[in-house]
Amino acid sequence: MIPVDRIPLVLAVDERLRTTSICVGVAYGSRHDPAGRGGLAHMLEHLLMSAPVTGGAPLVQHIESRGGNANAETGLEHMLFYAQVDAEDADQVAELLLRGVLSPALDEATLETERSAVLQELAAAEADPADVVQDAFLGTLFPGHPLGRPVGGTTREVLALDLDAVTRGHREQFLAAPIAVAVVGPRLPGPLAGLADGRSEAAAARAATPAAPLGPVRAAEPAWPAGFGWVAVGGRSAGLAETNRHRYAVLANLLGANASSVLYRELRVAAGLAYSFQAWDRGYTESGAWRVLIGVDAGNGPGAVEIVTRELARLAADGPTAADLDAARRHVRMSLVLDTETPMEHARLLAMRALTRPVPWDVARELDEIAAVRADDVRRAAAELSADLVAVVRPEAS
């Protein structure tokens, strides 16, 4: 187990709360999996939550038997392990969470149980075009690049993972990555008192990781299915280190699902081509991925893509109106405020920001940064996306 005094702590004390939310963030994700070992990070996520920690019971069982909630997630560049419990149980759960994540007792039986769960998860995702299109979209944006790998790996890769590979991955890669812990509750749990009093070390270490060169986007015309499908339309946005990357979040809101968005008016109300759609942006080390995801019935796909393309081109040329820009900024700010007022989401947000921000994160400063996005910033983001836009559909025509 690595010394806890090397792990930065971010604490948000609210004495009104009767729960404590704890999130351990690790700057290790699917992009860091060794060649041929895709799915390793995702498998570790399952194992660390399911491996026995005390009395033979798994971590997640210990937490949820106390009435709490526990979960974990793996992304392209991070892993999060989090729990929300009664504040009276916070000391014990904090100790168990750190022990389970940092010094797990991995064994063959747990590996085989979780391998079965992971394979079922992959099968379920493969059967859902809304999931499949996400991997296909990133593979199109980042062909041959670690960001283009499927987070869960492939069935063949998961079947090839053995206990030695998983144990070495945890020791040599997981524990070597920047780690941060965030707590939102009425007090600091005792077992976390020894954590480092500093919030920028994890992000600084992460920023020192060399970026992998990006090749060209691999675009192709969508092969539209005969029935309902999901289409992702978008392109590369800015990397995490770029200033004013909030312009992409504002642009996503302008083309999002809320009733005040430009795309809602054009795609759903005026054209009636789609009912279910959303837009978002994610930033990574070298680049970002901005997209609109749309559920389209037979024959509606080309028209829906044309509307997204047209509205992006219009925003690239003219920028948003003052009213549309104001509404979009308000929505982005409100989403952030809602996260900070939901304790578990707040803890997850604090851990992520500790891993990605080189200076201590402050919500007021980020709200100001969003409010500072101007029409010309949005116009520039739309122009950058329009220059290399791709559309990917799943299922494809057979």
Task: Kindly report, residue by residue over 228-239, the tens digit of the pLDDT.
Answer: 999 999 999 999
Task: Kindly report, residue by residue over 372-394, the tens digit of the pLDDT.
Answer: 999 999 999 999 999 999 999 99
pLDDT class for 265, splitting at 50, 70, 90? Answer: very high
Q: pTM of the predicted model, to two decimals?
A: 0.94
Mean pLDDT, to the nearest integer, of 288-317?
Answer: 97
**Residue 9, H or E segment:** strand 9-13
Please give the pLDDT value at position 30. 96
Task: Kindly report, residue by residue over 174-199, the tens digit of the pLDDT.
Answer: 999 999 999 999 999 999 998 876 54
Least confidently predicted of 53-62, 75-84, 273-282, 370-379: 53-62
How far CA 270 is from CA of 170, 266, 291, 309, in Å, comes to 52, 5, 21, 16
Domain ranges in the chain are 4-207, 229-394
Task: Kindly report, residue by residue over 117-130, the tens digit of the pLDDT.
Answer: 999 999 999 999 99
Average pLDDT taken over every residue of the chain: 93
Q: What is the dihedral of CA 384, 388, 392, 397, to 10 degrees?
A: 150
Please give the pLDDT value at position 199. 47
Please give the pLDDT value at position 3. 56
Please give the pLDDT value at position 357. 81
Please give the pLDDT value at position 142. 96
Give the integer Cα–Cα distance in Å for 66 and 71: 14
Give the residue among 198, 175, 190, 180 at the shortest CA–CA distance from 2: 175
Q: Dihedrals φ, ψ of 182, to 5°?
A: -120, 140
Give the residue among 227, 234, 240 at the shortest CA–CA distance from 397: 227
Q: Which residue has the higher pLDDT, 205 or 273?
A: 273
Mean pLDDT, to the nearest integer, of 288-296?
Answer: 98
User: How many residues comprise the chain?
Assistant: 398
How far CA 109 is from CA of 63, 72, 112, 114, in Å, comes to 21, 20, 5, 9
Please give the pLDDT value at position 198. 54
Going 289 to 341 to 27 to 107, the CA torsion angle's sign is negative
Give the integer Cα–Cα distance in Å for 39 and 42: 5
Please give the pLDDT value at position 195. 85
Please give the pLDDT value at position 345. 98
CATH topology of domain 229-394: Cytochrome Bc1 Complex; Chain A, domain 1 (3.30.830)
- The answer, yes or no, to whether residue 1 has pLDDT greater than 60, is no
Domain 4-207 in CATH 3.30.830.10? The answer is yes
> Is residue 370 classed as helix, strand or coil in its secondary structure?
helix
Mean pLDDT, to the nearest integer, of 88-109?
Answer: 95
How far CA 305 is from CA of 100, 131, 260, 293, 393, in Å, comes to 46, 19, 20, 10, 10
Mean pLDDT, to the nearest integer, of 336-359?
Answer: 94
Say yes or no: do domains 4-207 and 229-394 share a fold: yes
